[in-house]
Chain A
């Protein structure tokens, strides 16, 4: 049994695989965040990292068995949009002479 709090070994293996895949996905998005040629590339990679973080929070909710972190996921899904909209407005305003 991999995880202590999940009482099923098959589900524990599935959760471990999902966590590994999400970590790899966040690392790939971080690669685009560092390398990205333009500022919108970095913004969308940050958006992807945040969206995958919502998935990580969902996975943590299954692992821990407690539901408090779901509120964090709700707030995060809203804050992501605010950040992206702020960056888009900043790009617009910077483009104007």
Chain B
């Protein structure tokens, strides 16, 4: 999948001599030229020729901006620390992934393409390794210091499993009866639209 996309980015897409509009795709030797001619109305407008690599770069930049905006809206609008953390972790990871892949595609025709690709992969590996771990650490610490959940939270599986004097979570059994814990609030009638 990724390899075929790289082939698309590296494929020559300049000439329009191979039958743009007649619909016959018999003369194409590889998939990149065919996709380049299919996507021709996107980028072939006179001298503003973007190329298939440029189209991919522009699409990835817009997708990365969209997902970054989604994560920012989530961190402002979500009602709870834990839901905010979910929005900030997952969506921003996808947005930065799109932006960094845009860098790799933008440098795909330059002499330093391999170095840029290796650095890009390093950035992606570090972000994919560290973002879920940091979200987990912060969520666990926030549960320990009693950051309140949303009042309309349906179910809290850790309620009652938390040993207050030791600040530790027991593994299997509930330490206190769950009915006495104020966090275990299950609302039978939720306002679902």
A-side residues, CB < 8 A to B, are 8-11, 14-15, 17-18, 21-22, 24-26, 28-29, 31-32, 38-41, 43-45, 47-48, 51-52, 54-55, 58-59, 61-62, 67, 70-71, 73-74, 77-78, 80-81, 84-85, 87-89, 91-92, 94-97
Contacts and interface: CB of A to CB of B under 8 A. Distances in A.
Interface of B: 43, 48-50, 54, 57-58, 61-62, 64-66, 68-69, 71-73, 75-76, 81, 84-85, 88-89, 92-93, 95-96, 99-100, 102-103, 106-107, 112, 115-116, 119-120, 122-123, 126-127, 129-131, 133-135, 137-142, 144-145, 147, 165, 167
B50 A10 contact: yes
Contacts of B137: 84-85, 88
Given A8-B49, A32-B76, A40-B141, 16 more contacts: A11-B57, A11-B58, A18-B62, A25-B71, A38-B145, A40-B138, A48-B88, A51-B92, A51-B131, A55-B95, A55-B100, A67-B116, A77-B127, A80-B130, A84-B134, A91-B145
A48 B58 contact: no
Given A11-B50, A59-B61, A74-B122, A88 B141 contact: yes
Contact of B54 (A11, A61, A84): A11
A11 B52 CA distance: 12
A49 to B, nearest CB: 10
A84 B135 CA distance: 8
B138 A51 contact: no
A12 to B, nearest CB: 10
A80 B134 contact: yes
5 contacts: A44-B85, A52-B95, A70-B103, A85-B137, A94-B145
A14 B76 contact: no
Contacts of A74: 119, 122-123, 126
Contacts of B116: 67, 70
Contact of B68 (A8, A22, A71, A77): A22
A80 B66 CA distance: 22
Contacts of A15: 61
Residue among B102, B137, B145 with the most chain A CB within 10 A?
B137
B34 to A, nearest CB: 22
A67 B131 contact: no
Contacts of A97: 165, 167
Given A8-B54, A11-B57, A67-B116, A44 B88 contact: yes
